[in-house]
Amino acid sequence: MKAAPRRGLPIFEAAVQVFSEKGFANTSIDEVAQRAGVAKGTIYYNYRSKKGLFVALIEEGIERLEKVINRELARRDEVIAQLQAVITAHFSFFDEHRDYCRLLLSEVWGLGHRWEKQVERLRTGPIRAIRNVLERGQAAGVIRRDIEVESAAVALFGAVAVTALNWVLFQGRSRFDEVAHTLKGIFLRGCQAHAADKDRETPVNGWEPAARPVGV
C-alpha cells in the first residue's frame, strides 16, 4: 500500500497544485518533484505511478467534498434547508479548493472513460447525496414530482461546478454571496413544489415533450 504520503504531505500538496494548473497530461513528475522539494525517485517510492498519484489526489478530494456535504445535511432535518446548505457548502468547497474544482471538471468529468472509477465515485458520493435529498423531498411533497431526481442532481452539480469555476477564473464584479444566492434562488424555487402545484402534476408552463427538433 504505497499510496500513503511520507511525513507531512509535501508531495501531495505539490501535486494538487501542479496538476490543477496544467492538467494531468501536461504535468511532469519532474515539476511535481521540484515543487515538493524531493528527488524524482522519491515520488515513485511513494506512489506507484503518475496515474496512481493523480487518482489518489482525486479520490481524496471526492471524499472531502462528500464529507462536507454530508456534514451539512446531517445538521438539518428539513429538505429545503438541506438543499440550501448543500449548495452553499458545495460552492464554498469549490471556491476554497479551486484546484479540485478544475481537476474534477476538466480531467475527471470531461474525459469519463479514462477515469471511470473516479467518475463513478463522484456519482455515488456527492451527487448521490444530493439525489437522496431530492427524493426525500419528493416523498415529503416539498419537491416537485415531475422532475427526474437523477438529472436534477447532476444538473445541480454541474451548475455549481461550472459557475464556481467561472467565478474563480474570471471573478467579475459579482460577489461570492451574490453568486451563491443566485444559484440557490434558481434551484430551490425550480425544484420546490409550490402550494398551488400540489394537486396538479403538470408543469407550470405547458411545454411540449421536446421532440428532438434542433439540428446543426
Partner DNA sequence: GATGAATGAGCTTTCATTCAT
Partner DNA sequence: GATGAATGAAAGCTCATTCAT
Q: Which residues bind DNA (CB under 7 A)?
A: 6-7, 26-30, 38-42, 44-46, 49-51
DSSP secondary structure letters along 33-70: HHHHTS-HHHHHHHSS-HHHHHHHHHHHHHHHHHHHHH
Query: C-alpha angle 144/148/150, rounded to 5°?
Result: 125
In this chain, which of 77, 172, 200, 201 binds a copy of itself, going by CB under 8 A? Answer: 172
Cβ atoms of 130 and 86 within 8 Å: the answer is yes
Q: Kindly give, in sequence order, each residue whose CB lies less than 8 Å from that of residue 31, ignoring residues fewer than 6 positions away.
A: 18, 22
Name which of 17 and 192 has its Cβ closer to DNA: 17
Is 55 an interacting residue with respect to a copy of itself (CB under 8 A)?
no
Q: Kindly indicate which of the ranges 2-10, 29-37, 50-58, 113-121 contains the residues binding a copy of itself, using the contact rule CB under 8 A.
A: 113-121
Residue 123 binds: one of a copy of itself, DNA, none (C-beta under 5 to 8 A by kind): a copy of itself
Given the complex with a copy of itself, which of 113 and 200 has the nearer CB atom? 113
Residue 9 binding a copy of itself, by CB under 8 A:
no
The whole-angstrom distance between residue 85's C-alpha and the CA centroid of its chain comes to: 14
Q: Which of 92, 125, 128, 132 binds a copy of itself (CB under 8 A)?
A: 92
* Rounded distance between C-alpha atoms, residue 27 and residue 91, angstroms: 26
Q: Helix (H, G, I), strand (E, B), or coil: what is residue 146?
A: coil
Q: Which is nearer to a copy of itself, 35 or 181 (CB)?
A: 181
